[in-house]
Structure 1
Amino acid sequence: MRTRSIVLALTATAIASTGMTTPASAAPGLAVTTTLRQAIRTLPVAEEDRTGYARTKFRHWVDADRDGCSTRAEVLLAEAVEPPAVSGQCTISGGMWHSYYDDTDVPSARSLDIDHMVPLAEAWDSGASDWSAQERQDYANDLGDIRSLAAVTARENRSKADQDPREWLPTDPGARCRYLQEWVVVKARWQLSADPGEVAALADLASGCHDGRITYTPAR
């Protein structure tokens, strides 16, 4: 079963061995270390196009490592603040989760959605329409970075829908800088573009956030 602590350990090792890098200079599989504002400045800028989009073009909640747990279950297990019991074919019961979008503790996995940080429709608009079916599946089930998927309350996820940060931000004001950073990381990790209005909104929002170092590993 995959754990996010392993991902964090590997990322820390990559940072130590490579130091500061930029998207342009990063070799495949090596970590990019930058800042939030610099990452926004280096996002490809392009108009969005939703022509041909269908959610079914992103096969999700697969069991990629064939351990009996789907991507949804892997995220629930990784993000539990109180570990649940697991029985049978990865049936989850009990446990506790914290939905950071609205600063809410959730005692039931059934009350949680797994949010794609950059929604599938937004990813399609921003470049995924040109990907292969396998690449879109990999994106929709990305366990390679802890920021790609988040267990949050269903009401927050459904309120967000397919909107970008210009249109929607988490209910909890204290979560917004984290959310912004994670949005930018996922876009950069998957080489997704941002439209001009989105870039302007990201830059404006980032001006109110700490411009600390962020690190990610390109997925493609």
Structure 2
Amino acid sequence: MIKNLVRGATALCLALSPLALPSAATAAPAAPAAAQVLNLADAVDLLLVADESRAGYTRDKFKHWNSGLDPADGCNTRAEVLQAEAVEAPAVAAGCKLSGGLWVSYYDGQEVNDPAKLDIDHMVPLAESWDSGASNWDAKRREAYANDQDAAASLVAVTARTNRQKADQDPATWMPPHPDAQCRYIGEWTATKLRWGLAADQAEADALKVYAEACETTVVHYTPAP
């Protein structure tokens, strides 16, 4: 009788022990990253300043364009960005072929009504991202970066001419030719670097600080990438 009571008590203790709970019950889901809002000068101060290296970079290490936010719509990231940024929506034919529409390229202020004359610019170019931290990422994260539509600043539809003039330069050596675009550009550049945890080299950081002084009313919005 006593032995049976002991066995029963032991079984009850084991049943109530936290060690007996399923592991899923003890794991809390990660909280989503909080959106950040800062004035430009404070945002620039958050950037890590570090030397950059282009060693090992090739463009094909960033898979783009992928099937976009909605793989079922037949449009890749480029086409989805064009549709999202259109001032007047283009017609969409079979195979997600776009025609017509109207866009304003904020780098140079030009209006464009032919999607073939637009590039989708990575705000921080792929090569620059590699130099400043993306070389340490895995292929999946580089693909997410190259197709990032979860932040409005990451990808932007602009004239092919200005995109190719910019190439892989940072703000120390290239700025949009339209004067009214420059504060916005510096804010979006800084937001993208902070979102993805990318560093800035010394010349770049110095240039950003100079522009931040001139763009004192510019506000930076970013959410850290998952």
Calculate the TM-score normalised by the size of structure 2. Answer: 0.84
8 Å contact kept, 2:183–2:218: no
- Alignment deviations for residues 148-170 of structure 1 (CA, whole Å, 9 cap, x no partner): 01100000000000000010000
- 1:103 and 1:212 mapped to 2: Cα distance? 19
Q: Distance in 1 between matches of 2:220 and 2:127?
A: 25
Secondary structure in structure 2 of the residue aligned to 1:186: helix
Q: Which amino acid aligns with 1:59?
A: K
- Aligned mates of 1:100, 1:118 — CA distance in 2: 16
Output aligned runs, 1:61-76, within 5 Å: 61-64=65-68, 65-66=70-71, 67-76=73-82
**Alpha-carbon distance between aligned partners in 2 of 1:36 and 1:71, rounded to the nearest angstrom:** 29
AA aligned to 1:218 is P
How far is 1:175 from its partner? 0.5
- 1:93 has 2:99 as partner: yes
Q: Contact (CA 8 Å) 1:37, 1:211: kept in 2 or not?
A: no
2:109 aligned residue (99, 103, 127): 103
Identify the residue that residue 46 of structure 2 maps to in structure 1.
42
Aligned equivalent of 1:181, options 176, 181, 187: 187
Aligned length, in residue pairs: 194
Aligned residue number for residue 203 of structure 2: 197
Q: Does residue 1:158 correspond to 2:190, yes or no? A: no
Q: CA RMSD in A?
A: 1.1
1:15-164 to 2 correspondence within 5 Å? 28-64=32-68, 65-66=70-71, 67-164=73-170
Q: Is 1:172 equivalent to 2:178 in the alignment?
A: yes
Aligned equivalents of 1:116, 1:215: Cα separation in 2: 17
CA distance in 1 between counterparts of 2:216 and 2:115 reads: 32
User: SS at the partner of 1:181?
Assistant: helix
Kindly state the Cα deviation for residue 87 of structure 1 after the two structures are TM-superposed: 1.3
TM-score, with normalisation over the residues of structure 1?
Answer: 0.86
Find the aligned partners of 1:193 and 1:93 in 2 and give their Cα distance.
Answer: 39
Q: Which runs of no fewer than 5 residues in structure 2 stay unpaired? A: 1-30
**C-alpha deviation, 1:30, in angstroms:** 1.4
Instruction: Write the distance in 2 (CA, Å) between the matches of 1:128 and 1:194.
Output: 12
Give the distance between the partners of 2:125 and 2:84, measured in 1 at CA: 20
Residue in structure 2 matched with residue 15 of structure 1 by the alignment = none
Larger Rg: 2
Misfit runs of 4+, over 4 Å: none
Q: For 1:115 and 1:213, how far apart are their aligned partners in 2? A: 21
Render the CA deviation track for 1:21-41: whole Å, top value 9, x for unaligned. Answer: xxxxxx642111221111100
